[in-house]
Amino acid sequence: MKTKPALPTIRRTLAARSRIALIRADFNADITTSLQQACVTALQAAGVPAARIDRFTVPGCFEIPLMAQRLALKRKYDVIIALGAVIRGDTFHFELVATECARGVMDVSLRHNVPIVFEVLAVYHRRDAVRRAGPNRLNKGLEAAAAALALLTQLDSLS
């Protein structure tokens, strides 16, 4: 099993002034809520104040790109984090939702020049999503926080 790296170091002043939008898909809420909790806990542990993490909920992953676009247009956030879980069923719907969500988020990121951390689980079995959202260091919400912190530091060094 892979071990996860520690959270990247971020200057306290940068963490304290950063604005983060977190979009969570409500479909498969038990999984996405766990991702969100791990992500927010890690961001706060790195010094991002709770008041600077705005949380938004959309019905499902297909709606994430539209919310990301609306938030990007506000020019208020330094990074956006997208959390969701798409689990394969008996139809092609899984592929459509997962693919279009990823494409939509990338389009928004590039069009509006805002970093979007994409942590939408696309898995074949529910047990795989549960494993990736468990109450442990393998929770992908931690990876989302780590990516956001790294991006904040890297992009700040360019300005």
93 is catalytic: yes
For residues 124 and 137, give the distance between their C-alpha atoms in angstroms, rounded to a whole number.
22
Residue of 12, 70, 76, 93 marked active site:
93
Q: Are 154 and 115 in contact (CB under 8 A)?
A: no
117 bridge partner residues: 81
Distance CA 81, CA 21 (A): 6
Active site members: 93
